[in-house]
């Protein structure tokens, strides 16, 4: 099927891109990697008269080492994150999360910013970025602002971006040396499919006790879920009673729905299993 005709506008600066988005409003959409957007336009599920090409704006496809973390430009491809020596060294769980998306061609094309702004509930990067306390750099009609990723996902395919705003980068702060993060994905269909669920965990320990524990899940509700209330585990060893309580918090905070990747019952069971696995991996290996 061919795509209905549209105009591809190629601004040279963020300012110009924002002006185009404001001028054409709902008839326009920014295009980043253009994976999902082009496919949905091909299937005629979506149509925009104007696509504002973010690839024509210089400076959005770099992975930059900053003093307090790594800044990943919105146009950086999944494949660049997956293969970046800096990311693999500083955030192996993040490289892992990006390395299983679709297939190598999709990862070659799809961008970090496009993935987040699409806000599909079952994508791999959001849980991994959530436990790493990532922040988003946004540019819009009012200038620049920074928000925690935590506040970005508002509903299924809905984000905190307001009309005219563009996601320009993701900042991942460096983690303490005594910490570890993991990402586990479970695919109920083929390996290239969206995950049935993804679980990310982060743990920093002191003297064998938990100092900071974070868990996030993808595919388990309309938005990625960051598990609340884990502070109770601080200063405690991650033993069975503590793990049971964590699993109870997870069970209460997820709201999976049945689809072809599993029934609600099945997904709840898988969430328990994979969160347990993630904690075991964090607990066994963290310094």
Partner 1 sequence: MKREIVLRVNGREETLQIDDADTLLEVLRDGLKLWSVRESCGVGACGTCTVLMDGNPVSSCFLLAARAAGREITTLEGLGDGNELHPIQEAFVAERALQCAYCTPGFVLSVKALLDENPNPSDDETREYLSGNLCRCAGYADILRAVRSAQRRRRTPAKT
Distance CA 165, CA 145 (A): 10
Within 10 Å of residue 39's Cβ, how many Cβ atoms? 13
Q: Does 79 participate in binding partner 1 (rule CB under 8 A)?
A: yes
| Secondary structure string (H, E, C) spanning 251-265 | HHHCCCCCECCECHH
Question: Which of 6, 24, 174, 266 lies at the binding interface for partner 1 (CB under 8 A)?
Answer: 6
CA nearest 150: which of 171, 133, 164? 133
Contact between residue 109 and residue 134 where contact means Cβ atoms under 8 Å apart? no
Torsion sign (Cα): 101, 107, 110, 116: positive
269 lies in the site for partner 1, by CB under 8 A: no
- Helix or strand or coil: residue 128? helix
145 binds partner 1 (CB under 8 A): no
Query: Whole-number minimum distance, CB 6 to partner 1, in Å?
Result: 6
255 is a site residue for partner 1 (CB under 8 A): no
Task: Give me the least distance between CB of 191 and partner 1, in Å please.
Answer: 6
- Decide: is 35 part of the binding site for partner 1 (CB under 8 A): yes
| Rounded-to-10 torsion of CA 117, 187, 224, 171 | -60
Under the criterion CB under 8 A, does residue 3 sit at the interface with partner 1?
Answer: yes
User: Which of 34/126 has CB closer to partner 1?
Assistant: 34
- Contact stretch for partner 1 (CB under 8 A) within 36-44, 120-128, 180-188, 210-218: 36-44
Among 13, 22, 103, 234, binds partner 1 (CB under 8 A): 103
Residue 2 CA to residue 99 CA, distance in Å, equals 30
DSSP conformation class of 7 = E
| Alpha-carbon gap, residue 55 to 214, rounded angstroms | 34
Q: Closest distance between partner 1 and the C-beta of residue 193, in Å? A: 9
**Which span sits near partner 1 by CB under 8 A: 50-58, 229-237, 262-270, 279-287?**
50-58
DSSP H stretches of helix in 59-118:
78-83, 85-90, 92-99, 104-109, 112-118
Q: Which strands, in side-by-side order, build the sheet including 135-140?
A: 63-66, 69-73, 166-173, 135-140, 143-148
**Tokens linked to 244:** 């049971």
Encoding tokens for residue 180? 């570890």
Single residue of 46, 90, 106, 242 touching partner 1 by CB under 8 A: 106
CB of 129 to partner 1, least distance (A): 23
183/185 Cα distance (integer angstroms) = 7
Q: Among residue numbers 148 through 207, which ones bind partner 1 (CB under 8 A)? A: 191-192
Query: Looking at 3-11, 139-147, 150-158, 217-225, which segment touches partner 1 (CB under 8 A)?
Result: 3-11
The residue (of 22 and 192) whose beta carbon lies closer to partner 1 is 192
Selected binder of partner 1 within 64, 92, 108, 277 (CB under 8 A): 108
Q: Which stretch binds partner 1 (CB under 8 A): 39-47, 90-98, 166-174, 227-235?
A: 39-47
Does residue 109 belong to the site contacting partner 1 (CB under 8 A)? yes
Residue 240 touching partner 1 (CB under 8 A): no
Binding site for partner 1 (CB under 8 A): 1-8, 34-35, 38-39, 42-43, 51, 53, 55, 79, 102-106, 108-109, 191-192
């Amino acid at each position: 099927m061919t795509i209905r005709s549209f105009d591809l506008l190629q601004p040279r600066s963020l300012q110009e891109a924002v002006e185009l988005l404001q001028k054409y409003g709902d008839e326009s959409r920014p295009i980043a990697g253009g994976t999902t957007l082009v496919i949905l336009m091909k299937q005629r599920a979506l149509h925009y008269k104007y696509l504002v090409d973010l690839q024509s704006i210089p400076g959005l496809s770099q992975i930059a080492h900053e003093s307090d973390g790594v800044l990943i430009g919105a146009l950086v491809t999944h494949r660049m994150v997956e293969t970046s020596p800096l990311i693999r060294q500083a955030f192996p769980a993040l490289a892992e999360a990006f390395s299983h998306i679709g297939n190598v061609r999709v990862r070659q094309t799809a961008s970090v910013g496009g993935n987040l702004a699409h806000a599909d509930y079952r994508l791999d990067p959001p849980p991994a970025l959530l436990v790493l306390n990532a922040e988003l750099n946004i540019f819009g009609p009012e200038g620049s602002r920074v928000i925690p990723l935590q506040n970005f996902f508002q509903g299924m395919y809905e984000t905190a971006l307001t009309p005219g705003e563009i996601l320009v980068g993701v900042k991942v702060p460096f983690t303490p040396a005594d910490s570890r993060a993991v990402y586990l994905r479970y695919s109920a269909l083929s390996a290239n499919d969206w995950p049935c669920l993804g679980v990310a965990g982060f743990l920093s320990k002191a003297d064998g006790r938990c100092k900071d524990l974070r868990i996030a899940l993808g595919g388990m509700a309309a938005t990625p879920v960051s598990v609340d209330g884990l502070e109770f585990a601080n200063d405690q060893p991650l033993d069975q009673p503590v793990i049971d309580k964590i699993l109870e918090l997870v069970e209460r905070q997820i709201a999976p729905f049945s689809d072809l990747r599993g029934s609600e019952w099945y997904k709840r069971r898988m969430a328990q299993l994979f969160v347990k696995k993630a904690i075991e991996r964090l607990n066994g290996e963290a310094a």
